[in-house]
Amino acid sequence: MIRTFKALSALLSYPSADLQQAIPEIRDILAGEAVLPPAHIAAMKPLLRRLVTGDLFDLQEAYVLLYDRSRTLSLNLFEHIHGESRDRGGAMVDLLETYRAGGFDLVGPELPDHLPVLLEFLATQRLDTAREYLAEAGPILAVLAERLTRRETPYAAVLAALADLGRSEVASDVAASLLAEPDDNPEDLATLDAVWEEAQVTFAPDPNAGCPVSRDILARMDAPLSPARAGAAQ
């Protein structure tokens, strides 16, 4: 198991008290496995410090403002390519089959293309295989890293590290096309409401699916993925 991907999944999840308590272990995992270059690990220090010292309510509010109220920063990867078209539903069905073929079962409310979910799956794969999956999502990861950098948020360091692992840059044609879309203004509630009304999510995992990645993080860092998920579901 590549615990670095589990750690990155946790960092990109909705902030919780469990996540705050897990930060010292996450820091040790990133340094101990050395999957990421030292420069990327150092770049994450502001985020780790913020998650440890910040007020939990403020952290949660900032997370929602950043990811849930800005479609151009959505962590649901297929949304950036397919929007809410039928193509996205088909792509997620294929992704679910990929997860199951790899012995990975979802146990929470998130969609299969949610980045923290993908990272938990990659934690069960070989590093070279994980890099291949990240390369497929590379243009999206590079664009998210660029947009988060523009917002001057420490979360940008996580996306930049993932884009680097996937060897993707914003210079690619796909990334350039995505960056041509104007960034959302999360403070413009009227416009955001109109956008979400026009494009509602119509696909969801099967009833037994889901991935509460923020819960019991300390207990799950060392546990095999499937048993931990089964325990969380109970």
For residue 169, give Cα distances in angstroms to 150, 174, 216: 16, 10, 34
Give how many domains the chain has, as a whole number.
Answer: 1
pTM reported for the whole predicted model: 0.77
Instruction: List CB contacts of 124: < 8 A, sequence separation 6 or more.
Output: 1, 102, 103, 104, 225
Per the CB < 8 A criterion, the answer to whether 162 and 45 are in contact is no
**What are the backbone angles phi and psi of residue 114, rounded to the nearest 5°?**
-65, 125
Domain range for 226 is 3-233
**Which residue is it, tokens 């692992």?**
165
Task: pLDDT tens for the chain, 234 residues: list them.
Answer: 899 999 999 999 999 999 999 999 999 999 999 999 999 999 999 999 999 999 999 999 999 999 988 888 999 998 877 556 566 667 778 888 899 888 888 777 788 889 999 999 999 999 999 999 999 888 899 999 999 999 999 999 999 999 999 886 555 666 666 666 767 666 555 545 554 454 444 444 433 333 334 444 444 455 443 333 333 333
Rounded CA separation 170/70 (Å): 19
